[in-house]
Every structure is written in structure tokens, then in C-alpha cells.
Structure 1
Amino acid sequence: MGALTGHQAGIELTTIYEISKILSSSLDLNKTAREVLGMLSSHLRMRRGMVSLVQPSGDLHVVEATGMSAEAARRGRFRRGEGITGKILATGVPMVVPNVAKEPLFLNRTESRSLAEGRVVAFIGVPIKVGRETVGVLSVDREMDGEPGNFEADVRFLAMVANLIGQTTRLHNNVAAEREELMQRQYRLQKELQGKYSLDNVIGHSKRMQDVFAEVHQAAPGRSTVLLRGESGTGKEVIARSIHYLSPRKLAPFIKVNCAALSETLLESELFGHEKGSFTGATQERKGRFEMAQGGTLFLDEIGEISPLFQTKLLRVLQEREFERVGGNKSIKVDVRLIAATNRNMEEDVAKGTFRADLYYRINVVSIFLSPLRERREDIPPLIEHFLDKFNKENERKISISPAALAVMLKCNWPGNVRELENCVERTATMTRKNMIQELDLPCQQNKCFSQVLQHYGQAQLAIPIPVVSAPIVSVSSGASMPEVSGSSFGEATAGEDPAFMTERERLVWAMEQCGWVQAKAARLLNLTPRQIGYALSRYNIEVKRL
């Protein structure tokens, strides 16, 4: 190119600017390299440009070229130190061959240059570096046409271009490495989830759960909508995930939505998405859960809680498999399998008119019923063992449970089912100071069982109406005997039993039974202080039961 004129310097500056825009426009390295070579050819009259990069084998391959055929480019392969291009890779130093016809080291491996007598072709090559490491070579040919051979400006310019290509290569390698790591992590998580939610790892040895597992295996391969029914805490989400990971959709997303946790407006936006500006705060377009679950499974938990108006919108989506985003008018088709769950009596809701009959029939294609834990008590010991193992791993402890404590837990009603059992095991294991849970460590043996308090509180409220007009008449003698309580303050107590006709001891036992043997509650029922009722229990030698 010789000494730079003002015009040439302007062309180079413009070319560098355009090349930087090309390299930042895409992460497709081959595409950007091809466009850069085209820019060099058109702006600076450089012909037969090549971008060669080091491959995993260590050899240098031409990845993009201009001014030569694809077959010629495929022949452009060099080992480190081989020929001029290999020497640039080995030394990391730019090299210039003023006349390739007179250079014995020049291999002309691509056979794309015409070395006929009288035509002088110069070769200019500069290293492409990432940091201090040479990862490739940028090379161009120029036909000299009798021009003087001063290549200093060419080398300087190409070095700037090679530096930009090196930065793009580094970014490309980083993105490729992150993508590979992400894919590996996703694969590991997928395998872990499949293992975790495969039915082989769902605990349930009882006949009822084995029947559920058989139904899951039967329903999973199909496309039918599944309705999971059962009390809260029976493991409906675990079963839903198992259905997904046993189905052909296992590699696609599993998306869950708790319908009871969102208002009607939020639920519509959450499921269907919204367009930009569709409501206050909608600053950008947002995909809904249906779109996110494309090709996979959408799990709608607590579906019985959705409003009648939203039931109509959901019914259309399930029938047509298409919807519009909030604020949009474009129909979006989706391929999603629906799994719904509820703890409500759907038939009763349909009869009352609070749940649409047509939606009920649409979601109730395959019904799977999960039994409460109290009806499959043989599953309690393995569940306790599983939750203890989980606690021990997370907290680096070695806690086990005694046979006596296990016997107490087997007798519990577990109104909160598996969720309550897990919480009870975790709470007890956390608070115990030894390596074995004993009977007295259990919350129910310390009058600290939450579900027991709730249960007996509800029973007490139903069995003993609170008087509105008159308060109970209580008299406490100087000898601190059991207070006399007028029968009118208790109303209808229990079937056929009126506290007014009971002895003091019988009234005390009756009150303790009504309150689940919680002394503080029995004291409030009899309008006593905890100290007074404790003294009365001791005086009458009444043993406090541990439920």
C-alpha cells in the first residue's frame, strides 16, 4: 500500500469502523469473518483473504476465505511451523512475502494463486491473538502491479483487524464454553429430576399408593389431561412431576402455577402473558406460563379456587389450544399437556354452580385419587426414615427415632398428611439434643402439636357455645377446692352429659377432654387460672394424658 495519503488513511479508518460493527453484530464467527474479508477486498483491494483458526487437534484450518473456491479453502490446513502460515502461528510474528513465486517456504497449498511469469503476488500474514496466545492467522494476497514493496502500513492495518477478530474469538469461545457448561448442568439437573421424581423414588409401600403408581404409569405416556385429587399435603405436585418425567415430554419444561395464590387478573396475565402497554406497569411484552410450557406440561394446582369468569377463559384454551395475551388480539397456538390438582369436592361445587360443569368434564379426563396418610399408615415409617435421612444430610447429624416415638407417630391422625409429617420430623429433629428421638421429644407429648390444638379448638367451639348474656358463676373456697360452675354457662355440652350434674372431679376431667388435655385451654373454659387448674388436677390425682 506504500506511504499513507490522507485519502487512504480515511479509507482505513472507515474500514476499521465498519469491521468493528460487523464483528459486534453477531456471535456467528464464520459469518462475521466472511463479511470482514469481503470488506477488506472491496475497500482496500486485498484479494484472496483467509481467516485460519487453530482447531482442537492443534492444526490450523482455514475457516473462511474470499477470492477462492470452497474446495481450495478446504485444502488450507497447516501444522504448527509448516509453511509461512504455520510459522506465523508458531512465532506469533507478522510475516510478509513480497513475491510468493520466489519464496521456497511458501506452499500455495490452496492452489488458488496464479503464479504465472510476470504477475507478482505478495502475501501478508498477521497473527490473531487472544491475550498472549496465538489462536489463528489473518492473511491476504495483493497483486503488486509494479508498485514498490513497502508493506509497513499493510501490516499495521491488518494487525488492528486481527486484534478485533481476536476479541470476537475470545467472546465466541467464552459464550460457547458457558453454553456447554449450561447444557451439561441442564443435563445433570434433568437426570437428577428424573431420578427424584421417578416413581421408584416416590415413597409409598401401601396398596393404595401402589395403585396410584400403576395409574401414573398407565396415564403418563398419553396426552390426556390428568386431574389429581386428594387432601392438602398428600403429594399431588410430586405425582404431577412424575407423570411429566415418565412422559415423552420429559425433555420439555414442567411449569407449575398455584391458582389459589393469584387474583383473577394476575392469574390471567400469569397464564396467558401480556402485551406491552396492556395495563399500568406492563413496560414490555411478557410470555405467559402456557407459552413457557410449550411442548411440555403445565401443572395447575388448586384449580378449584379459580373464579367463574376465569373458568370460561380457561375452558376456551383447553378446547381450542390457543389464546390471546392480555391486551393482544393475535391468537397463539400451544402444544401443552395439562395436569390439574384440587383438594375440593368438585362434584359438590358443580352442583352448587360455583364450578362450571363443562370445565369439570374437560379437566376430569383421567382422575387419580391420592389417599390421606391416615388411611395408609404403613407408609409412615419409611416416610419418617426418608425425612430423617434428608435432615441428617442437610445438617450433618446422625439422628434416629426410638420404637416408642415411632409408635406414637403411627397413632397420629396427620390432618396435614405428608407435609405435616415432614414438618413434624424436621421440628422434632431440630429441637432434640440427643441422637435419638424419644417419645417425650415429640411436640404432641408436650402439648405443642399445632394440628392437635387446631382440631380440638374447633371441636371445643362446636361443643361449648360461648354464653353471651351471663358469665359462668364461679366460687372458690378458702380451701382451694374445685370451683362450682353453674350448668347454664355451658349450654349443650356433650351428648347426654350436663356439667351441672357432674361432680367436681368429673367436671375437671370433662373440661380436660374437651380441650385435648391442654391445661391452659381447660382453665379458660372453666374460667380458672392455669395455677388453679394445676392445683385441682393434683388435688384429685388426675393423670394428664399425653396425646
Structure 2
Amino acid sequence: MRSRIHILKFSALLAICETMERALDLEAALDGVLCMLSEKLSMQRATVTLYDPEIQQLTINASYGLTLEEKQRGVYRLDEGVTGKIFRSNEPFYVPDISKEPLFLDKTGARKLQRGMTSFIGVPIVLQGDPIGVLNVDRFFDDHVSIEEDIDFLKIVATLIGQFLSLNKKVMEREAVFKRENASLRYQISQQNKGLYIVGKSSAMMEVQRQIERVAPTRATVLLLGESGVGKTLIARIIHELSDRDGHPFVKINCASIPENLLEAELFGYEKGAFTGATSSRQGRFEEADCGTIFLDEIGELPLNLQAKLLRVLQEKELERLGSNKTRTVDIRIITATNKDLGKLVEQNEFRLDLYYRLNIFPVVIPALCERREDITGLLNHFLQKAAQNYGRTVTFTAGALDALIQYEWPGNVREMENLIERLVIMSDSEYISLEFIAPYLESITPMHEHEVVDGTACLLALDKNKPMRPQHASLQDLEKNEILYALEDNDWIQYKAAESLGLTARQMGYRVKRYRLEEAIAIGRARLRKR
């Protein structure tokens, strides 16, 4: 009998070694090991429980003989039960009869209907002297089986598992390096072939590029942060094309552009008869993006009721169409973008905290164009070349026009620049675009020299309380300055309110107040309010 058991154990060890040698898939390899223990040696309900540093608990990573639900219940604190004791002590533990051992918790619930006496053996999985997990098995009581031999055998198996886990980790790390290098090479090739790439050599944009190349090959959710028009959609598409999902759908949707009552159907789809007008079934954008990437722009505008459903897609990769109880599984990567402060929205109970944590795994901040002026010349040349290809016209800027564009605030960022260049190329009759020609096309003023600045205080004192019509032939500078003063006066001289009324950010308003020297005008205006 003993000789037969030795032969079985030796045979099982050979099979386990072959399983590990063939498999790079960690889960499949561990499942194969536990299957050998069960089928060759009657070691049932075998589990590999590993330490998860993120939650600082032990969780079942692989099992044989447990249902998925039972496996998911196998989560242990380091001071909990037999599993916790084995991990902390770094020593094997044997339970002759699990029904009489108070430390045996049966958290999985797999042994509730078990009949007869069952013994339990657990050994630590050790790597470089430190425990990283626990290997557990059930054994039906048998007088002919040496417990010491079983423990020694399981310690050998646990050592093999530990070495395999270490090897697997190194392979994954090396694979991640190769993926990043591949993403970097693909980006360079795209740049050389005039494909998708970031125009800009500023340190800020080089850091954005470095982050893109690092995160693109992974499965991580990415959150793009920045003002409107900085190029978040372009960056989302670059991330998609540098990933292994390239060749699969890239679906983009603006959460702010679709009415709330239609957004759910747009994202999740619907069945025939789900609502009035639903004459046929339709898959949603999440299903369209299956195996690919979905880009959710303006994620801060997503209604609270849909945030819970998005969280489920992120965590479980599951959804239901409107009007259906059928659960559908999707394999998608989610990239989101916003120009809002999601943390502030969380504080205001307008955005779910759990969803914020899930989306904020890898945030990438794209700077505004005015914060990287060294990129402006390159972007202007890029869009001039693009317009030349589209319209068959080559134009250049005069020195004065170029200097003005470099100093311009660019409130609409790169999108404003692209649209401006296209308009200028269409409207210009000359191959040279001058400062005078571009001025009427700018949404804000061109930069002024010091002698051009008009004192804001004098301008304020000249304003009539009845607000007469604006001068028909005023300069762009005067028009903007007057509009800012009117907005400030309408909003009780509160800068952020005036900025909102003009569609500016607080930073842009502050820049204009300083440019026009309106600080004293604001102080006088506030003093007048206090005297009323």
C-alpha cells in the first residue's frame, strides 16, 4: 500500500512539473496542479490562497472542487482561521477532524454537507524564506496514510508553486517591458509615417507621451484631464492604437452631448418595446466596442443613475439592455476624459466616490496650450501643412502675426488653433498672413505692447450706469476690455462669476484683469457696492 502511494506521489510530481513547464497562464497552471492532487491522490478541495498586498488579506486564487461562489468567499485576514495561522507561522498545520477544530472556519461553505470524518492539511507557500500564500487540501481519514509523508509531499508541491509564481512574475514584468518598448516603437513609426502622434516637444508634452507609451499596452483604465480643446480625443485614440486592441473598434461618445433620457439607451442598448418608439432591438455603444476601446468624454456629466451601471461594466464587464433581464458580457477598455474636478464633484455628491476611484487608476493631465508656448510654433506649422494638403495652398505668417499668435491666450486650445488656421487659409488671398488680417478672426484680443494698454480705472469711470451702446469702431482691445468691465459690474465685481458669464475660466479672467490693469477698477467697483 505504502509503495503504491509513493508511486502515485512520484507520478503526480512529474505531472505537476510538466503542467508548470507548459503553462505561462498562471491560473491554468495552478488549476492543473490542484487537479493532479485531486485525481491522483484524492486530495480534494485543494486551494492555493495567496496574499494580496492591495487589500492586505489572503484570497483563493486557484481551486479544484469549489464552485465559483465558494471560491469568492475564501477571503481571510492574516489573523483569521487555520489559513491565517499557517501564513503567519510559516509552518504546516494538520487538522485530524475539521468538525472538532475551532480554528477551521469553512468560510467557503464547501463542507457543509460533508459526511464522515475529514482531515485537513495546509502548508505555507514560501519564496526566499517569506510566506506568500498557503496550499490547502482535504484528506478523508485513512489509517494507511502517513500524515508526515503527506505534509512533506505538499511542502515539495508548495515549493514548486512558489518557484512557478516567481517565474511567472518575472515573465509578466519582462512582457510589460517588451510591450512598452513596442508601444514606443509603434509611436515613432506612426510619427514618421504621419499617422497619429502628439505635436509638441515641450517637457510637459514629452511627459504626456511617456505616460501614454507606458499605459497603452496595459489593460488599465485611463482618465484624461484637461481643458476643452487640448486634444483628449486624439490622445485616447493614440492609446487605443498603441494597445493590443488596435484593429478592434474605437468607440467615442460625449456624455454631455446626449440628453439624459437618451443616454442610457445609447450606452447600454435596448430591446424592442422597451420604450415608445423602440420598434426594434439595438445594441449600445458598450457592445459596439466589444474587444476594443470606448472613450467616454465629459464623464463628469454622466448622471448618477448611470454611474452605478458604468461601475458594474468596469468591475464585472456585464450589462443589461433596457427592457431586458439578459446579462451580456463585454470585453472593453474604458478611457474617460473631463475638464471638471471630479474630486470636487464627489464632495458635492454629484459623482460616486467608488466610480471615481475606479476611473482614477491612471490619470493623465494634458496641459493647456498657453502653458506650453514653446509648442505653438510647431503646432502652427503642423496645421499649415495639413491645410496645404487639404486645400492645395501654401501660406506663411509674417513675423508680427507669428509673434502675436505665440503670445495669444488660446482659450480654445489646440482645437481653436486648428479651426483658425483652416479659416485663415480659406479666406486669405495672399501667401503671407499678416497681423492685421488675423485680428478679426481671434476670439480674444491679440497681445498688446505696454503703450497700448488703457488704464482700467479711467475706463471704469467713463462707463455710464445706463450702459450705452458699445462703440462701433473700437479696437478689439477696447471691445474686450469693455466687455470684461460690463461683466464684472453685472456680477458685483466677482471675478469668477464674471468669467462664467463670458464663458472664460477663472484663470483666463485673472489673466485679462492683469493685462488691462483692472485691479483698481475692481476695488473701486466693490467700494461703490459697499456704500449702497
Which one has a bigger Cα radius of gyration? 1
TM-score (norm 1): 0.48
TM-score (norm 2): 0.49
